[in-house]
Amino acid sequence: MKPFIKFAVLAVFVALQGCSAPVREADAWPAQLPARQYFVQNYESDAKNAAVQTQDQYLAWVRRFYEGSEIYAWGFLDLESLVLDGLDGESARSLKAKLDTVGLHIGGEWAKDRNTTRITTRMLSLWAEAIQIAQAAGPVESVVDQVLADVGAVLAGEMKLAEITPDRYGTTLSIAFMDGCVESSGESKGSC
């Protein structure tokens, strides 16, 4: 084979290898997640976070929020499924829309680098627990409304981390937290 032909065959082979290269995790966006573009825009709008976290890292954390991870297999999609299980009609559609909004706001912020995010894993866990307890007890929509309002207040800088406590949800919504901080009556059992 002539050298030119060998080079051409090699060039075609290398070019075809590029077509079969593995897809980056962020590009393989699952259909059940909200639109990837929403999170890309959220990432691009925060220059402080973009300076310390790549877009791929951010999108990977968004996926962990929704799908869970190797360490914590339960994600927001699981919570949403649990809450909506057995519901139908307009109330289910209304609650799903609220949960979708909660997920967008929490996931979009929580996925940021730990030094720039305004939503911590502790807040995320507390909100998920409040929604789970309410789902089992019945007043789930009022808890979702409260969480949605509080997430908005945190993102707007109107509420501080210290204000997001089990007592806030237990007392306000009369739900009992699993750690025993609040009894089912909503009465505080002391400092948590």
Question: For residue 143, is pLDDT > 80?
Answer: yes
- Mean pLDDT value across residues 133-159: 92
- Residue 94: what residue type? S
Q: What is the pLDDT of residues 94-130, one digit of tens each?
A: 999 999 999 999 999 999 999 999 999 999 999 999 9
Of 17-21, 96-100, 142-146, 179-183, which has the strongest mean pLDDT? 96-100
Distance CA 167, CA 192 (A): 8
* pLDDT at site 86: 86
List, in sequence order, every residue forming a beta bridge with 182; answer none if it has no partner. Answer: 188
* pLDDT tens column, 3-57: 433 333 333 333 333 333 344 554 689 999 999 999 999 999 999 999 999 999 9
pLDDT at 181: 44
Domain range annotation of the chain: 35-173
Tally the residues of the chain. Answer: 192
DSSP structure string for 31-44: TTSSPHHHHHHHHH
CA dist 62 and 105 (Å) reads 11
**138 — pLDDT class (breaks 50, 70, 90):** confident
Q: 3-class DSSP state for residue 118?
A: coil
**DSSP structure string for 129-158:** HHHHHHHHHS-HHHHHHHHHHHHHHHHTTS
